[in-house]
A = this chain, B = another copy of it.
Amino acid sequence: MAAVDVGGTAAKAVLLDQDLRVLARAHQPTERTGPGAVAEQVGRLVEELAGRAGTDPVGIGVVVPGIVDDQAGVARYSANLGWRDVPFAALLRGRLDLPVAFGHDVTACGLAEWELGAGRGHRTVAVVPVGTGIAAALLLDGRPYRAGGYAGELGHVDIGHDLRCGCGATGCLEAVASAAALTRRYRERAGRPAHAADAAEVVRSAWAGDPHAAAVLADAVDGLARGLRLLTMLLAPEVVVLGGGLFEAGATLLDAVRDRLAELVTFQPMPRLRLAELGAEAGCLGAGLLAWRAVAGESP
């Protein structure tokens, strides 16, 4: 099975066996000339994987970021790709002579963590990758909850600060707690771009005593705890899985978020907070799960 995670910067592809073991990998910078070019690129990546592994895939799963109506096969809106109402499932079917499953990157990442990673064995789980943006994949009573692609916009809940977000609102979690916000705010404050290569590095600088890094990290930790408090009040998940670029800094950061959340939660049970287990390949693995299920005739 081929699985492709089309991101804003890179398209990552893997060939998987039925046990989701990776047989081959390939990746390229994402084509910037439109959805047709990206569909072509996915086709080339699949051919490359097939050639490398010496076996043809039986189908393909493809996931993209943004607001994705997987039922309709349409990417409603993706800021990172610059797409609006793109019928990408149909474009892929026009290019590939294979069964195609199409979905949403964060949901696929969630699916992989529910099935194979830090959420396995639980029926009500939120998987929250903290990267360029922040979103939550929701598993409620054992089923993904999607709302036509609009569910889980945790990055845009109002946590009470006065900074403007790219979405037009103020107070959005994403504006202080995404990996992108952490590096941007550190740069603005410290004027030391060399030290802000990635968010995990800002976290480590904070722990090493850099006061600018400590200040932006404190805002991010408080913001994430406030966002998770909202999830807890409305959905009471058993487990919240945190991952993405920010949480490459590891368990100490998770502990800080957990401590702050425990201060904020009054009468609700605390969710268990866990680090994601599958790393940057979770999206591809989830795309593979979607594709295997489509071939088996199951709904995700």
Q: How far is the CB of A285 from chain B (nearest CB, A)?
A: 24
CB <8 Å contact, B235 and A158: no
A6 CB-CB contact with B under 8 Å? no
Distance in angstroms between the alpha carbons of A147 and B229 in the assembled complex: 15
Closest B residue, CB atoms, query A265: B169
CB <8 Å contact, A267 and B77: yes
* Residue of B143, B157, B160, B236 touching A234 (CB-CB under 8 A): B157
Q: Which of A102-139 contact B (CB under 8 A)?
A: 124, 136, 138
Kindly list chain B residues whose C-beta atoms are within 8 Å of the C-beta of A235. Answer: 145, 147, 151, 234
CB <8 Å contact, A158 and B234: no
CB <8 Å contact, A230 and B124: no
Q: Which of A143-160 contact B (CB under 8 A)?
A: 143, 145, 147-148, 150-154, 156-160
Distance in angstroms between the alpha carbons of A147 and B236 in the assembled complex: 6
CB <8 Å contact, B233 and A157: yes
**Interface range on chain A (Cβ under 8 Å from partner):** 35 or more
Q: Which of A225-272 contact B (CB under 8 A)?
A: 226, 229-231, 233-237, 264, 266-269
With A160-B160, A266-B167 in contact, do A150 and B236 touch (Cβ < 8 Å)?
yes
A140 CB-CB contact with B under 8 Å? yes
Q: How far is the CB of A104 from chain B (nearest CB, A)?
A: 13
A168 CB-CB contact with B under 8 Å? yes
A56 CB-CB contact with B under 8 Å? no
Task: Please give the count of copies of this chain that the complex contains.
Answer: 2
Kindly list chain B residues whose C-beta atoms are within 8 Å of the C-beta of A160. Answer: 158, 160, 171
Distance in angstroms between the alpha carbons of A157 and B228 in the assembled complex: 11
Kindly list chain B residues whose C-beta atoms are within 8 Å of the C-beta of A230. Answer: 157-158, 230, 234
A141 CB-CB contact with B under 8 Å? yes
Q: How far is the CB of A148 from chain B (nearest CB, A)?
A: 7
CB <8 Å contact, A234 and B151: yes
Kindly list chain B residues whose C-beta atoms are within 8 Å of the C-beta of A234. Answer: 136, 138, 151-154, 157, 230-231, 234-235
CB <8 Å contact, B236 and A266: no
CB <8 Å contact, B148 and A236: yes
Distance in angstroms between the alpha carbons of A2 and B265 in the assembled complex: 38
Distance in angstroms between the alpha carbons of A77 and B269 in the assembled complex: 12
**Beyond known contacts A153-B236, A234-B234: 12 more, CB 8 A cutoff:** A124-B147, A145-B235, A148-B236, A150-B268, A156-B233, A156-B268, A158-B160, A160-B160, A160-B171, A167-B266, A167-B267, A234-B235
Name 15 interchain pairs, CB-CB below 8 A, sorted by A. A67-B267, A124-B147, A136-B234, A138-B234, A147-B235, A147-B236, A150-B269, A153-B234, A156-B268, A157-B230, A157-B234, A158-B264, A167-B267, A168-B267, A234-B235
